[in-house]
Structure 1
Amino acid sequence: MNETIIETQVTYTIEYQGKFYIIEHVPARVCQETGEQYFDPETVEHIHEFIKGNPKPVRIIETPVFNYA
């Protein structure tokens, strides 16, 4: 298999202290064949520190939650 990795921006989701956060426009490397996303350790650390700082969101969305039955 010939993997093709591209540099792009993606949406990153994380759960922290019982809340879900969505961070848009996160730099990542993405495999075009599998969709697998790869992040630099510095990027992930920056996201974690950002969330811990309790930033003001650009918008808030509501989403349904389901149990897997």
Structure 2
Amino acid sequence: MPNDWSLDGDINLQGQAEWYKKMFEKTAKRDWAWKQYHIEDADKDSGYDLYGKPAEAVVKEYYRRKG
């Protein structure tokens, strides 16, 4: 069951990659599918995305120190 983090299972990196490949193939023609803004436009994006924004550096540093 997706998003049930209490379930244990084997790590399947290939299965994960295949899922994303299929998901992008199936949603590519839909106009509601998420599209990443160009990094040069990060300061114009009003969404919660961190990419290219000062908060991205904060999160990276936190996880770098947490190690």
TM-score, structure 2 normalization: 0.28
> Which of 1 and 2 has greater Rg?
2
Structure with bigger strand share is 1
Structure with bigger helix share is 2
